[in-house]
Amino acid sequence: MYQFDISAADKADLYRDLLSALDSLTADEGDAIANMANASALLMQYLPDLNWSGFYRLVDDELVLGPFQGKAACIRIVLGKGVCGTAAATRTTQLVPDVHAFPGHIACDADSRAELVVPIVVGDRLVGVLDLDSPVAGRFDAADQAGCEALMAMLAPRIA
């Protein structure tokens, strides 16, 4: 049904194309779960070297597993715990080159080495986080952070 021409010439092009594709997928859909599901699938398909792509939703002051692609995952994460909980509590993106060096890292998948977690905020309300894991240490960089932050800024009101 959907076919996207995603460019991998460089990261700026890749994230520009991903932003356009995600906008197309979610623009006319009002269901937050459907939009998160398509977003996680799109990222897993087009971002290289991922072993997990998905969302944790804020429910009653804790993060609860949402739509994702990858191995079965931790279901609940306390705010302030692990990479996802830290991103949620501080509302700042966590770019972790080596998860084994992150104090309190929660190892849902022992194969994960690097992680990028972007908080999703609408107005002043935390909705949840985008969580990307990679089996490659140092997989994520500033371009990935900026690209994923732009994706979540666009998606945030469509999943709130």
Closest CA to 47 of 154, 156, 106, 130: 130
Tokens at residue 155, please? 């998606």
pLDDT at 6: 74
> What is the Cα–Cα distance from 7 to 84, expressed in whole angstroms?
29
Q: What is the pLDDT of residues 42-61, one digit of tens each?
A: 999 999 999 999 999 999 99
- The phi and psi torsions of 54 (rounded to 5 degrees) equal -175, -170
Q: What is the pLDDT of residues 125-150, one digit of tens each?
A: 999 999 999 999 999 999 999 999 99
Tokens at residue 14, please? 């890749």
Is 147 in a helix, a strand, or coil?
A: helix
> What is the Cα–Cα distance from 119 to 94, expressed in whole angstroms?
9
pLDDT at 52: 97
> What is the Cα–Cα distance from 93 to 68, expressed in whole angstroms?
19
Give this prediction's pTM: 0.95
| 110 band by pLDDT with thresholds 50, 70 and 90 | confident
